[in-house]
Amino acid sequence: MTGPLQVLLPAADGGTRAYTPRAEPPPTTAGGPPLTSRTVFSAAHVVADPRADVSPDGPAAVDWDATLAFRHHLWSHGLGVAEAMDTAQRGMGLDWAGAAELITRSAAEAKAAGGRIACGVGTDQLAGPAGLVEVRSAYEEQLALVESAGAQPILMASRALAAAAASPDDYLETYGHLLRQSAEPVILHWLGPMFDPALEGYWGSADLDAATDTFLEVIAAHPDKVDGIKVSLLDADREIALRRRLPDGVRCYTGDDFNYPELIAGDDHGFSHALLGIFDPLGPLAAEAVRALDTGDAKRFRALLDPTVELSRHLFQAPTRYYKTGVVLLAWLAGHQTHFTMVGGLQSARSLPHLARAYELADGLGLFPDPALAAARMRSLLTVHGVPQ
C-alpha cells in the first residue's frame, strides 16, 4: 500500500515504481468567447453507457447527458466541436445510426449554447462492397442530415470510396458532385492510413505527391465551396507545403497530433488552424494558448503547448487509431465522466503501461482539476488489473 500521495505504476522490468502526483490543483483556466486568431475545433469523444447490456459488435449505447455535457465544456472555453469524427469512434464502435443521433443532438445543443460545430459526413451506413453510385448516395444522405441539423459539413475520407475508386478521376467526380450540391462551404478531410489502414491510396494513389495533386485539383475546381481542408498525415513538412498551395480563402486545419504547436503558430508564409483529437483532453489549455496568439504572444503560445506534445505523441503512437482509449481515460481521470468504459469495449485497446504513462504525463501537465480524484481513480484501475496499491 502506498502513501496517500503516491501511485504505484507498472515499471519496465515488470515490477512497479512509485509516482507522486501533484499535490495541488492547477490554476483554474477560465472560459471565454470564441478564439479570434485561429479557428479551432476539438474532435470530441463520446461517453458510453456502462450499464447498458450490449455486446462489442452491437449498436453503441451512449450516455447522452455526459456526452453533451463534455461538448458544453469545450464550448465554454471558446473551442468549436468537430462532431462524429474518428475521435467519437466513428467506424470503430459508433455506427451511422448512432452518429446520426449524435449529430442531431449536438447540433441542437450547439445552437442553444451559441457554440460552433462541424460534423462528419461519410459513407459508413454502407454494408459490404459498394460501387461509386452507392458511395455517392451514402455521402448525399449524410450531407443532407448534417445540413438540415444546421451544422457545417466535414466531408470525411470514405473506406467505401477507397475500395471502389479505380483512378483519381473517380475521386474528382465524386467530390465534385458533392461540392456542387452542398449548400455552404465544407471542410475536406484527408485522413492518413496511420489512422485508418483502409484509407491507403486515398485520392487515387499511394504516392502522396500524386495524391496531393488530385486533392488540390478538387479544391481548385470548387474554391467557393471549400471552407478549408483538414490534413491528418502526421507530416509537418508536407502539411506546410500543401498549405502554401491552397487558393486564397481556403483554410488549412491541422490534424497533425505530433506537430500542432509549430503548425498553428505558423511562419512568414502562413499558419494552420486546428481540428485535433488531442484538443479533447487539452481543451482548456489549448484555448488558453490560442488566446495568447490572439494577443500576438507567440512565445507564450509555444510555452503552453510545446510541453503537451510528449503526451500527444504517446496517445497517438502506433497503432494510431487506438488513441481514443487514452483520450477517454483522461476524461475519466479529469472528472468529465464517471467510468472508464468505451463503446465497442475499446477501453481494452491499450496496455496498462501505456495508460499509466498517459496518466503520469497528463498529471505533470496539470490537466486534472482534482489531482486527488485522478490519483484515486488511477489506483482503482491499477488494482483491478493486478497492480496492488
CA 262 to CA 136: how far, in whole Å?
A: 36
Percentage of the chain beyond pLDDT 90 is: 92
pTM across the whole model: 0.96
Q: Is 369 exposed, middle or buried (0-12, 13-18, 19+ CB in 10 A)?
A: middle
Does residue 1 carry a pLDDT above 70? no
- The alpha helices in the chain, defined as continuous H runs, are 64-76, 96-113, 132-148, 159-164, 168-181, 208-221, 236-243, 260-265, 283-294, 298-305, 309-315, 323-333, 352-365, 371-384
Does residue 4 carry a pLDDT above 80? no
Q: Helix 371-384 crosses helix 323-333 at what angle (to 10 degrees)?
A: 120
Report, as an integer, the average pLDDT of 376-380.
Answer: 97
Contacts of 370 (CB under 8 A, 6+ apart): 25, 335
Tell me the average pLDDT of the chain: 95
Which pLDDT tens digit goes with each residue over 205-259? Answer: 999 999 999 999 999 999 999 999 999 999 999 999 999 999 999 999 999 999 9
Does residue 2 carry a pLDDT above 60? no
Does residue 3 carry a pLDDT above 60? no
CA 118 to CA 253: how far, in whole Å?
A: 12
Residue 71 C-alpha cell reads as: 461538448
Percentage of the chain beyond pLDDT 70 is: 99
Q: Any idea what the Cα angle at residue 250 is, between residues 31 and 308, rounded to 5°?
A: 40
CA 21 to CA 372: how far, in whole Å?
A: 8
pLDDT confidence tier of residue 30, bands split at 50, 70 and 90: confident
CA 178 to CA 172: how far, in whole Å?
A: 10
pLDDT confidence tier of residue 173, bands split at 50, 70 and 90: very high
Cis? peptide before 27, omega within 30° of 0: no
Residue 297: strand, helix, or coil: coil
Residue predicted with more confidence, 128 or 85: 85
> So what's the pLDDT on residue 32?
79
Which pLDDT tens digit goes with each residue over 114-155? Answer: 999 999 999 999 988 999 999 999 999 999 999 999 999 999
Contacts 24+ apart (CB under 8 A), 68-74: 68/105, 68/106, 68/109, 69/336, 70/44, 70/45, 70/331, 70/336, 70/337, 71/44, 71/106, 71/109, 71/110, 71/115, 72/109, 72/113, 72/115, 73/283, 73/336, 74/42, 74/44, 74/115, 74/280, 74/283
Residue 108 C-alpha cell reads as: 441542437
> So what's the pLDDT on residue 52?
95
Sign, Cα dihedral of 328, 329, 330, 334: positive
Q: Is 314 exposed, middle or buried (0-12, 13-18, 19+ CB in 10 A)?
A: middle
Report, as an integer, the average pLDDT of 159-182.
Answer: 97
